[in-house]
Structure 1
Amino acid sequence: MLTTTIQPRFNDTDALGHISNTSFPVWFEEARTALFEIFHPSLDIETWPLILAKTEIDFLAQTYWGSEVKITTYIGKLGSSSCHIIQEARQKEKLVARGLAILIYFDYETNKSVSIPQDIREKLSQHLVKK
Protein backbone atom coordinates (compact mmCIF):
# COMPACT_ATOMS: atom_id res chain seq x y z
CA MET A 1 0.00 0.00 0.00
CA LEU A 2 1.16 3.48 -0.86
CA THR A 3 -0.23 6.65 0.72
CA THR A 4 -0.33 10.18 -0.69
CA THR A 5 -1.73 13.24 1.06
CA ILE A 6 -3.46 15.90 -1.02
CA GLN A 7 -4.24 19.35 0.32
CA PRO A 8 -7.30 20.49 -1.66
CA ARG A 9 -6.93 23.90 -3.23
CA PHE A 10 -9.70 26.47 -3.15
CA ASN A 11 -10.01 26.19 -6.93
CA ASP A 12 -10.76 22.45 -6.55
CA THR A 13 -14.23 23.41 -5.31
CA ASP A 14 -17.28 23.69 -7.51
CA ALA A 15 -20.33 25.95 -7.49
CA LEU A 16 -21.96 23.76 -4.83
CA GLY A 17 -19.09 24.40 -2.41
CA HIS A 18 -17.54 20.95 -2.34
CA ILE A 19 -14.62 19.40 -4.20
CA SER A 20 -15.39 19.01 -7.89
CA ASN A 21 -15.52 15.51 -9.32
CA THR A 22 -12.96 16.66 -11.89
CA SER A 23 -10.29 16.94 -9.19
CA PHE A 24 -10.24 13.25 -8.30
CA PRO A 25 -8.76 11.93 -11.57
CA VAL A 26 -5.89 14.41 -11.17
CA TRP A 27 -5.38 13.49 -7.51
CA PHE A 28 -5.47 9.76 -8.26
CA GLU A 29 -2.92 10.20 -11.04
CA GLU A 30 -0.65 12.11 -8.65
CA ALA A 31 -0.98 9.26 -6.14
CA ARG A 32 0.09 6.76 -8.84
CA THR A 33 3.49 8.48 -9.19
CA ALA A 34 5.15 6.05 -6.75
CA LEU A 35 3.97 3.16 -8.94
CA PHE A 36 5.17 4.96 -12.07
CA GLU A 37 8.61 5.09 -10.43
CA ILE A 38 8.52 1.31 -9.95
CA PHE A 39 7.75 0.82 -13.63
CA HIS A 40 10.15 3.52 -14.83
CA PRO A 41 12.44 5.01 -12.15
CA SER A 42 13.68 7.90 -14.30
CA LEU A 43 10.12 9.01 -15.20
CA ASP A 44 11.65 10.02 -18.56
CA ILE A 45 8.75 10.53 -20.96
CA GLU A 46 11.01 9.84 -23.96
CA THR A 47 11.20 6.18 -22.89
CA TRP A 48 7.86 5.91 -21.07
CA PRO A 49 6.61 2.29 -20.97
CA LEU A 50 2.96 2.70 -19.90
CA ILE A 51 -0.44 3.52 -21.29
CA LEU A 52 -3.59 4.12 -19.33
CA ALA A 53 -6.29 1.78 -20.64
CA LYS A 54 -9.14 2.54 -18.25
CA THR A 55 -10.17 4.63 -15.27
CA GLU A 56 -13.26 4.47 -13.09
CA ILE A 57 -14.19 6.52 -10.05
CA ASP A 58 -17.02 5.94 -7.61
CA PHE A 59 -17.93 9.05 -5.63
CA LEU A 60 -19.11 7.92 -2.20
CA ALA A 61 -19.41 11.12 -0.17
CA GLN A 62 -18.95 14.86 -0.52
CA THR A 63 -15.43 16.21 -0.03
CA TYR A 64 -14.59 19.72 1.13
CA TRP A 65 -11.87 22.32 0.89
CA GLY A 66 -9.92 22.93 4.10
CA SER A 67 -9.16 19.32 5.11
CA GLU A 68 -6.52 17.08 3.58
CA VAL A 69 -7.43 14.01 1.56
CA LYS A 70 -5.40 10.82 1.99
CA ILE A 71 -5.20 8.52 -1.00
CA THR A 72 -4.16 4.91 -0.61
CA THR A 73 -2.99 3.02 -3.67
CA TYR A 74 -2.87 -0.76 -4.04
CA ILE A 75 -2.33 -3.27 -6.80
CA GLY A 76 -5.59 -5.18 -7.28
CA LYS A 77 -4.45 -7.52 -10.04
CA LEU A 78 -1.14 -8.07 -11.75
CA GLY A 79 -1.45 -9.58 -15.22
CA SER A 80 1.27 -10.47 -17.67
CA SER A 81 1.27 -7.00 -19.28
CA SER A 82 -1.37 -5.14 -17.26
CA CYS A 83 -1.81 -3.86 -13.75
CA HIS A 84 -5.08 -2.99 -12.01
CA ILE A 85 -4.61 -0.17 -9.54
CA ILE A 86 -7.13 0.37 -6.77
CA GLN A 87 -7.24 3.73 -5.04
CA GLU A 88 -9.24 5.03 -2.10
CA ALA A 89 -9.61 8.65 -1.02
CA ARG A 90 -10.45 9.50 2.58
CA GLN A 91 -11.15 12.83 4.24
CA LYS A 92 -11.30 12.88 8.04
CA GLU A 93 -11.13 9.05 7.95
CA LYS A 94 -14.29 8.85 5.80
CA LEU A 95 -14.09 7.01 2.47
CA VAL A 96 -15.14 9.62 -0.10
CA ALA A 97 -14.08 8.06 -3.41
CA ARG A 98 -12.77 4.80 -4.81
CA GLY A 99 -11.01 4.43 -8.14
CA LEU A 100 -9.67 1.83 -10.54
CA ALA A 101 -7.01 2.44 -13.16
CA ILE A 102 -5.67 -0.14 -15.58
CA LEU A 103 -2.13 0.39 -16.82
CA ILE A 104 -0.60 -1.53 -19.70
CA TYR A 105 3.14 -2.09 -20.01
CA PHE A 106 3.66 -0.90 -23.57
CA ASP A 107 6.26 -0.69 -26.31
CA TYR A 108 5.63 2.47 -28.31
CA GLU A 109 7.96 1.39 -31.11
CA THR A 110 5.97 -1.77 -31.88
CA ASN A 111 2.71 -0.24 -30.66
CA LYS A 112 1.98 -3.37 -28.63
CA SER A 113 1.74 -4.44 -25.01
CA VAL A 114 4.70 -6.36 -23.63
CA SER A 115 5.21 -8.51 -20.55
CA ILE A 116 6.06 -6.73 -17.34
CA PRO A 117 9.68 -7.66 -16.45
CA GLN A 118 10.13 -9.94 -13.44
CA ASP A 119 12.04 -7.40 -11.34
CA ILE A 120 9.20 -4.89 -11.74
CA ARG A 121 6.58 -7.59 -11.01
CA GLU A 122 8.36 -8.40 -7.74
CA LYS A 123 8.30 -4.75 -6.63
CA LEU A 124 4.65 -4.34 -7.63
CA SER A 125 3.71 -7.54 -5.82
CA GLN A 126 4.66 -5.88 -2.54
CA HIS A 127 1.59 -3.67 -2.97
CA LEU A 128 -0.92 -6.38 -3.90
CA VAL A 129 -4.22 -6.25 -2.02
CA LYS A 130 -4.59 -9.20 0.29
CA LYS A 131 -7.89 -10.99 -0.32
Structure 2
Amino acid sequence: MNDETKGLRLEDFAGQAYDKLRYGDTDRQGHVNNAVFATFMETGRVELIYNPQDPLLDEGFSFVLAKLDIDYIAEVLWPGTVEIGTRVVRVGRSSVTMQQAVFQKGKLCASAETVVVHFDEATRKSQAFSEAQRAKLEGWISAG
Protein backbone atom coordinates (compact mmCIF):
# COMPACT_ATOMS: atom_id res chain seq x y z
CA MET A 1 0.00 0.00 0.00
CA ASN A 2 1.44 3.38 -0.99
CA ASP A 3 0.69 6.90 0.27
CA GLU A 4 -1.85 7.42 -2.53
CA THR A 5 -3.99 4.45 -1.44
CA LYS A 6 -3.29 4.38 2.31
CA GLY A 7 -6.21 6.58 3.40
CA LEU A 8 -8.78 5.61 0.77
CA ARG A 9 -12.41 5.36 1.85
CA LEU A 10 -15.47 4.37 -0.18
CA GLU A 11 -16.80 7.92 0.25
CA ASP A 12 -13.84 9.19 -1.81
CA PHE A 13 -15.30 7.71 -5.00
CA ALA A 14 -17.89 9.14 -7.40
CA GLY A 15 -19.02 5.61 -8.27
CA GLN A 16 -20.01 3.22 -5.51
CA ALA A 17 -21.20 -0.34 -6.05
CA TYR A 18 -21.21 -3.67 -4.24
CA ASP A 19 -20.93 -7.37 -5.02
CA LYS A 20 -22.21 -10.33 -3.04
CA LEU A 21 -19.54 -12.94 -2.40
CA ARG A 22 -20.25 -16.49 -3.53
CA TYR A 23 -18.84 -19.65 -1.98
CA GLY A 24 -17.43 -20.50 -5.42
CA ASP A 25 -15.30 -17.31 -5.25
CA THR A 26 -13.13 -18.87 -2.53
CA ASP A 27 -9.93 -20.85 -2.98
CA ARG A 28 -8.13 -23.54 -0.99
CA GLN A 29 -6.80 -20.95 1.48
CA GLY A 30 -10.38 -20.02 2.46
CA HIS A 31 -10.35 -16.49 1.07
CA VAL A 32 -11.74 -14.98 -2.12
CA ASN A 33 -9.51 -15.91 -5.05
CA ASN A 34 -7.39 -13.14 -6.57
CA ALA A 35 -8.96 -13.61 -10.01
CA VAL A 36 -12.36 -12.56 -8.63
CA PHE A 37 -11.00 -9.06 -7.92
CA ALA A 38 -11.05 -8.35 -11.68
CA THR A 39 -14.80 -9.05 -11.59
CA PHE A 40 -15.21 -6.67 -8.65
CA MET A 41 -13.47 -3.94 -10.68
CA GLU A 42 -15.71 -4.69 -13.65
CA THR A 43 -18.81 -4.28 -11.47
CA GLY A 44 -17.59 -0.88 -10.30
CA ARG A 45 -16.77 0.36 -13.82
CA VAL A 46 -19.97 -0.89 -15.39
CA GLU A 47 -22.23 0.63 -12.74
CA LEU A 48 -20.56 4.02 -13.22
CA ILE A 49 -20.17 4.24 -17.00
CA TYR A 50 -23.21 2.22 -18.11
CA ASN A 51 -25.75 3.77 -15.72
CA PRO A 52 -29.10 3.64 -17.62
CA GLN A 53 -30.43 6.65 -15.65
CA ASP A 54 -27.44 8.77 -16.74
CA PRO A 55 -26.19 7.41 -20.10
CA LEU A 56 -22.69 8.29 -21.22
CA LEU A 57 -22.49 6.39 -24.51
CA ASP A 58 -24.32 6.85 -27.79
CA GLU A 59 -25.81 3.89 -29.66
CA GLY A 60 -23.09 1.88 -31.40
CA PHE A 61 -20.32 2.76 -28.93
CA SER A 62 -18.88 0.93 -25.95
CA PHE A 63 -15.81 0.81 -23.75
CA VAL A 64 -13.09 -1.81 -24.02
CA LEU A 65 -10.65 -2.62 -21.25
CA ALA A 66 -7.07 -1.62 -22.10
CA LYS A 67 -5.39 -1.99 -18.69
CA LEU A 68 -6.15 -3.43 -15.28
CA ASP A 69 -3.40 -3.21 -12.66
CA ILE A 70 -4.50 -4.54 -9.26
CA ASP A 71 -2.67 -4.14 -5.95
CA TYR A 72 -3.80 -6.75 -3.41
CA ILE A 73 -3.74 -5.28 0.10
CA ALA A 74 -5.80 -7.59 2.34
CA GLU A 75 -7.74 -10.79 1.96
CA VAL A 76 -11.49 -10.82 1.36
CA LEU A 77 -13.41 -13.47 3.26
CA TRP A 78 -16.67 -15.28 2.43
CA PRO A 79 -19.55 -14.88 3.32
CA GLY A 80 -20.55 -11.29 2.89
CA THR A 81 -20.24 -8.47 0.41
CA VAL A 82 -17.61 -6.08 -0.87
CA GLU A 83 -18.00 -2.42 -1.71
CA ILE A 84 -16.33 -1.07 -4.84
CA GLY A 85 -15.31 2.53 -5.42
CA THR A 86 -14.58 3.94 -8.88
CA ARG A 87 -13.46 7.42 -9.91
CA VAL A 88 -11.92 9.02 -12.94
CA VAL A 89 -8.38 10.31 -12.54
CA ARG A 90 -7.56 11.27 -16.14
CA VAL A 91 -9.50 11.79 -19.37
CA GLY A 92 -7.60 11.41 -22.64
CA ARG A 93 -8.75 11.88 -26.24
CA SER A 94 -10.54 8.53 -26.30
CA SER A 95 -9.47 6.81 -23.06
CA VAL A 96 -10.27 7.15 -19.39
CA THR A 97 -7.98 6.22 -16.51
CA MET A 98 -9.81 5.25 -13.34
CA GLN A 99 -8.80 4.52 -9.78
CA GLN A 100 -10.77 1.71 -8.20
CA ALA A 101 -10.79 0.16 -4.74
CA VAL A 102 -12.42 -2.81 -3.04
CA PHE A 103 -13.47 -2.65 0.61
CA GLN A 104 -14.88 -5.24 2.99
CA LYS A 105 -16.48 -3.98 6.19
CA GLY A 106 -14.82 -0.60 5.63
CA LYS A 107 -11.31 -2.05 5.23
CA LEU A 108 -9.36 -1.41 2.02
CA CYS A 109 -8.60 -4.80 0.43
CA ALA A 110 -7.40 -3.88 -3.07
CA SER A 111 -6.81 -0.90 -5.31
CA ALA A 112 -6.48 -0.75 -9.08
CA GLU A 113 -5.65 1.47 -11.99
CA THR A 114 -7.99 0.79 -14.88
CA VAL A 115 -7.92 2.21 -18.41
CA VAL A 116 -10.87 1.89 -20.77
CA VAL A 117 -11.07 3.10 -24.36
CA HIS A 118 -14.14 4.64 -26.05
CA PHE A 119 -14.79 2.24 -28.92
CA ASP A 120 -16.80 2.59 -32.15
CA GLU A 121 -18.46 -0.79 -32.70
CA ALA A 122 -18.89 -0.19 -36.48
CA THR A 123 -15.29 0.78 -37.27
CA ARG A 124 -13.78 -1.31 -34.43
CA LYS A 125 -11.49 1.64 -33.59
CA SER A 126 -11.14 4.11 -30.75
CA GLN A 127 -13.37 7.19 -30.93
CA ALA A 128 -12.65 10.63 -29.47
CA PHE A 129 -15.01 11.79 -26.73
CA SER A 130 -17.58 14.49 -27.43
CA GLU A 131 -17.41 17.63 -25.30
CA ALA A 132 -20.51 16.45 -23.37
CA GLN A 133 -18.92 13.07 -22.66
CA ARG A 134 -15.67 14.72 -21.60
CA ALA A 135 -17.53 17.06 -19.22
CA LYS A 136 -19.39 14.14 -17.61
CA LEU A 137 -16.21 12.09 -17.23
CA GLU A 138 -14.31 15.01 -15.73
CA GLY A 139 -17.18 15.46 -13.25
CA TRP A 140 -16.36 11.98 -11.91
CA ILE A 141 -12.80 12.98 -11.00
CA SER A 142 -13.83 14.09 -7.52
CA ALA A 143 -16.17 12.13 -5.26
CA GLY A 144 -19.84 12.39 -6.23
- TM class by shorter-chain length? 0.7 to 0.9
1:77 paired with 2:94, answer no
Runs of 4+ in 1 over 4 A off after TM superposition: none
Unaligned stretches of 5+ residues in structure 2: 1-13
Aligned counterpart for 1:35 among listed residues 38, 44, 49 = 49
Number of aligned residue pairs: 126
Q: TM-score, normalised by structure 1?
A: 0.86
Whole-Å separation in 2 of the counterparts to 1:111 and 1:7: 34
Percent identical? 29
Whole-Å separation in 2 of the counterparts to 1:26 and 1:7: 11
1:4 paired with 2:17, answer yes
Tell whether the 8 Å contact from 2:118 to 2:129 is kept in structure 1 after alignment.
yes
Deviation of 1:68 after TM superposition, in Å, equals 1.6
Tell whether the 8 Å contact from 1:53 to 1:103 is kept in structure 2 after alignment.
yes
| One-letter code aligned to 2:100 | Q
Unaligned stretches of 5+ residues in structure 1: none
1:19 paired with 2:27, answer no
Tell whether the 8 Å contact from 2:88 to 2:98 is kept in structure 1 after alignment.
yes
Deviation of 1:80 after TM superposition, in Å, equals 1.4
1:114 paired with 2:132, answer no
Tell whether the 8 Å contact from 2:76 to 2:104 is kept in structure 1 after alignment.
yes
1:20-60 CA distances to partner (integer Å, 9 max, x unpaired)? 0111111111111121344327xx7xx23322111111100
Deviation of 1:79 after TM superposition, in Å, equals 0.9
SS of equivalent residue, structure 2 residue 42: helix
- The alignment yields a C-alpha RMSD, in angstroms, of 1.8
Whole-Å separation in 1 of the counterparts to 2:142 and 2:116: 16
